[in-house]
Amino acid sequence: MFCESCNEHPATVFISQIIGNEVTQFRLCETCARQRAEANYQANHNESGAENSEASLEEVVFGLFEEIEHRSDFFSRHEEEDSDEGNGFSMNEVFMELQSHPFNDDEFPSDEELADDLDEMDDLDEDFDNLPPELAAALDAANDSADDVFNASLDEIIKSNPFGDTSERREIAARRCPKCSITWDRLRQDGRAGCAHCYETFADQLHEVMQRVQHAPQHHGKKPRAAEKRRNRLEHLRARRDHRLEMLNRRLDEAVRAEKYEEAAKLRDQIKMVSSTIIQEN
Amino acid sequence: MFYFPVPDLQPPASESMSFPFIPTAFERTAKWMRRGGRESDIALSSRVRLARNLKRYEFPHHASPQELLTVRHKTFQALEFNQGTAGLNEIKLLPFEEFTGWERQSLIDRYLTSREHVGEELARGLAATPDASLSILINEEDHLRLQSLLPGLQLVPAFDLVDHVDDALESYFDAHGGLAYSQEFGYLTACPTNAGTGMRASVMLHLPALEISEKIERARKWAEGKGLTLRGTFGEGSKVWGHLHQLSNQVTLGLDEAEILMDVENAAQEICTMERQARAALPTRHSIETRDRIGRAYGALRYARRMGCREATECLSLMRLAHEINWAKGLNRQRFNELMVWIRPAYLQVMHGRAISGTERDTLRCELLGPHIAKIKLEAAFSVASGTRPRRVEAPEAKTENTSDDDSLHSKNEDE
């Protein structure tokens, strides 16, 4: 339905005025309502210095607008400061917060702590039930507009957190070491790995653990000589392969320049074969 | 003397290669008890432990008994094979199934192993030299824990000792699947807090003055700031017995061995300095308290007929302090080190040969200590009280009416 006064814009402000037994209803668009309120407010206050015993309708509306504006200012201001406190808390965020401590059981909130958090959130809801209706309506309106801002930042959080994606989290929870078949949860609970292969299976999680618990997640210091010999051999093989590639490339260039295309084709195949071999430790 | 094994007790029949009876496996005086190393007045021993695992088998917590038996068998073979290497020529192999609970417990008393290790007997074992300077725990938390135990503060020689054994065993195990090692995480251990170098370097420090002057918390926090822990030795979970504290590194990954050793050694040096300063201040700052404690300890040790292990350890620790600050003399450091182990319950039990009750042990303890304590003499410096002397309190005037010559409790006068 359209605004009563301008008939152009849709009506968004609906006022029911009840004086005694008399009920009057107005349907106005925001602009018209504001204009009317301002005009009448000015008129009333210019006429007489004394206050009117009855607050006029326009004054009430104008006052309401002011309140609404104040409230929405309040929300947008606080949204920037801390987005995970107060009523901007979603269950999704709670789970992500819990997931982001992979190892140290001391930091994992206990069941009691979790229950306390949820109870606190329930208490907040109770307070909201007792607000005067206009204020509640105004708050709802403000919340709706702020939601868009909030949802955008939530997406960002999900993307940055490696465990944020639910499917990946499920995959990690289900992953078992191929040798001793323990899960990451089991490792965390016992505080012990099951076998040497666990370090490979859960490399990322353990990397994070080491970062927190140890000095650095990379080993310096004594290496077993066999491992060192193997690595030296790998280096040696890689160097040889690179050298061979270099030589083949050189010959290819020469062949192309000398227009010996058959030879060039053969060389090209050889290069493709050599460069596709991957030398790595098993 | 009761601390030699009872003659009619036969060792269990076992194979040729040294599976001996525990009391005969070890010398009464271990290497760490003797003279050696620096700061011997405060640092009693230095220990370096390397944790290693075999790649092919699951870690002891998860492995099947067959796997664990294989690991132990292979380790014994590796040690036999390497008998010629430095330090391994005298090594004795002790599979736990062959020993009673008390004998296994006595290994804890000798500072060789932990409660978790001796709790289980299947497929666990220990290989050690008779002077306990070098030992290898098999299937404790990891497959192999090589450790060296030397007197005083000498972490680098302790590390060298255990390093050579590590090299020797590694080259043997290369032919049997190799050790568990990764480029990123270093030597792989059951507990990620041990991974990397797998090395735990610790120094046992005797800190009675810091405890009496209540500065021990400050020392502990200072050590934690350096990434080290200062905990009690005996008793798990940092309970301190006999003012003995163990300083060890917490981090094993990301630093190389030389750095870790240097950190622990420097910190130990610093704490020794703190303790020495505190000891120098005791006669003046804490005169009455120190004298009181030492006096009581001396009295108890000298005249008690039964004493529990904890009390005896505390008393011996205070007598040791008295010796170090020249308020007493008669015993040397080695004797204190020896007594500290000889009074422990499992050690007493095993040395005595037959099962005895707690009370009997308490009596034996005092019998053992008797002749040694008798050698202690308190010096004059101990008896002289320095600082303010309390005012002499006047005795109340004697009333002449009701006094009688017979001052006994049983009054003859019925009217009284």
Residue A51 CB-density burial (10 A; 0-12 exposed, 13-18 middle, 19+ buried): exposed
The pLDDT of residue A238 is above 90: no
Q: What is the reported pLDDT for A78?
A: 47
Among B53, B58, B163, the residue with its CB nearest the CB of A180 is B58
**Mean pLDDT value across residues B266-289:** 94
User: In this complex, is the C-beta atom of A195 within 8 Å of any C-beta atom belonging to chain B?
Assistant: yes
CB contact under 8 A, B186 and A221: yes
Q: What is the reported pLDDT for A132?
A: 64
The C-alpha of B56 sits at a distance from chain A's nearest C-alpha, in angstroms, of 8
Residues B205-246: pLDDT tens digits?
999 999 999 999 999 999 999 999 998 876 455 578 899 999
Residue B202 banded pLDDT, cuts 50, 70, 90: very high
Contact residues, chain B, for A203 at CB < 8 Å: 184
Residues A102-136: pLDDT tens digits?
444 444 455 555 555 555 555 555 555 556 666 66
Contact residues, chain B, for A192 at CB < 8 Å: 59, 61-62, 141, 190-191
CB contact under 8 A, A219 and B254: yes
Which residues between 227 and 256 in chain A have a beta carbon less than 8 angstroms from any beta carbon of chain B? 227, 231
* More confident site: A123 or A261: A261
- Compute the distance between CA of residue B49 and CA of residue B102 in angstroms, rounded to an integer: 24
The pLDDT of residue B84 is above 90: no
Interface predicted TM-score (ipTM) of this complex, two decimals: 0.77
Contact residues, chain B, for A216 at CB < 8 Å: 253-255
CB contact under 8 A, B256 and A220: yes
Which residues between 46 and 105 in chain A have a beta carbon less than 8 angstroms from any beta carbon of chain B? 103
Contact residues, chain B, for A103 at CB < 8 Å: 192
